[in-house]
Amino acid sequence: MRIKIALLLFVIVFALFGVALAKKVGDRVETLKKIDEDGKARAAEQTKVTPPKLVKPVPNPGGRTLQFTATLMPEKAVDLAFKLPGRVTEITARRGDSVTAGQLLARFDEEEIDAQLSQANAAIKVAQAQKTLANENLRWSKKLNDAGVATEQQLSLADTQADVSGAGIAQAKASLLSLDVLRDEFKLIAPIDGVVVTAPTSWGFVASPGIPIFRIEQISTLRLVAHVPEKDAVELKEGMDVTIHTQSGLVATGKLNLILPSIDAMTRRVPIEAVVPNDDHKLFAGSFVDASIGLPTQPMLLIPVTALLTGDHPSVLVVGPNNVLVRRPIDVFATRDGFLWVQDGLTQDDNVIADPGTVWRDGDTLQNPVTSAAAQP
């Protein structure tokens, strides 16, 4: 019995000790929290003793330059091949030659086609003679039939022979026309003005149908072909000047004439093209060049990106009346090189907190405001 009483007293004493210890620990935690809060408050007040840096928004530099690499392509280019197989017996243009539309470039051996044309002409003459004979036979058959000597069957046969001979003439003429067309295919003619960039070195070889043996390019005007990011493409307009710098140091100017409204699936960029005059042929088709386009921008104000406050909508702290800080919403066009391009919400006369951090808030009062410095882009 005594043992039970002793154990009960021990438990009661231990519980009382635990309660007292917990209260003491809780009081100590509260004291530490208060000390920490007081320290933070004193630090904030100490920080606010030093006036923040103020900046004045400055106008944007007035535009920027879009730079990119591009390829110069001929304005037009055609690959030429014979439609028929045959032996090339004449080459009239070499690589580097300037040619005009309609100029002969090469031809096949025409002896065989000439022989076939002679046969076709002879066939027409034979068909015409047969037609004359058939018509004469039909005339006599009608007279004999009228006299009761020839039968209706004989008259019908003579009439049919006259029709057949007439069809023979038409067939012979069609064959001649077909051979004339075929003879044209024995010649390779330049379809455009330009420069020959690919050509056979000698004649005598057998050309295969559909295999190009000539290439002509128009290089008096070149096409500049490039791809630019979507964010830059939206600022481009047809007719803008494009400045071109070649690897040889030449500088040329073209006009933007195409902004394709579809992103290239391979590059994920927007295809653009420009027309570049090249009358002196100093620019080389197929070369890589550096190009640039000046992009005009609307009037904007620049402030450091550190001035931006956290929140759902972009805003900054501006010094208001009586040196009271006011949270001012702004409309940001872009962020470039550590600066905000602000298109609405600020004026050049505003004093903006350059770096409010977590110390300065809306409604705070500046005790000793420092003269503002202009933001430097």
Q: Render pLDDT for 102-119 as a digit per residue (tens, 0 to 9).
A: 999 998 876 665 666 666
Q: Do 269 and 309 fall within a single domain?
A: no
With the CA atoms of 37, 43, 48 and 54 taken in that order, what torsion angle do they form, in degrees rounded to the nearest 10?
A: -110
CATH, residue 349: 2.40.420.20
Q: What angle do CA 284, 286, 290 make, to 5 degrees?
A: 80
Q: Do 181 and 89 fall within a single domain?
A: yes
Asked if the structure places residue 201 within a domain, the reply is: no
Asked if the structure places residue 208 within a domain, the reply is: no
Q: Do 84 and 160 fall within a single domain?
A: yes
pLDDT confidence tier of residue 158, bands split at 50, 70 and 90: low
Q: Do 291 and 353 fall within a single domain?
A: no
Asked if the structure places residue 206 within a domain, the reply is: no
Average pLDDT across the chain, whole number: 81
Q: What is the token pair recorded at 194?
A: 């330009």
C-alpha radius of gyration, the chain, whole number: 47
Supply the range of the domain harboring residue 25.
1-49
pLDDT digits (tens, 9 = 90+) for 233-264: 988 999 999 999 999 999 999 999 999 999 99
What pLDDT does residue 273 have? 97
Q: Do 153 and 109 fall within a single domain?
A: yes
Q: Do 265 and 278 fall within a single domain?
A: yes
Q: Do 168 and 134 fall within a single domain?
A: yes
Q: Is the pLDDT of residue 76 over 90?
A: yes
Asked if the structure places residue 315 within a domain, the reply is: yes
Q: Do 350 and 309 fall within a single domain?
A: yes
% of the chain residues with pLDDT over 90: 42
Asked if the structure places residue 44 within a domain, the reply is: yes
Please state, in angstroms and rounded to a whole number, the distance separating the CA atoms of residues 31 and 248. Answer: 77
| Nearest to 342, CA basis, from 377, 281, 300, 305 | 300
What pLDDT does residue 106 have? 92
Asked if the structure places residue 185 within a domain, the reply is: yes
What pLDDT does residue 228 have? 96
Q: Do 337 and 256 fall within a single domain?
A: no
| Helix/strand/coil percentages in the chain, nearest 5 | 35, 35, 35
pLDDT digits (tens, 9 = 90+) for 36-54: 666 555 555 544 557 788 9
Phi-psi map region of 239: left, alpha, beta (phi>0 left; psi -120 to 50 alpha): left
Neighbours of 274 (CB within 10 A): 24
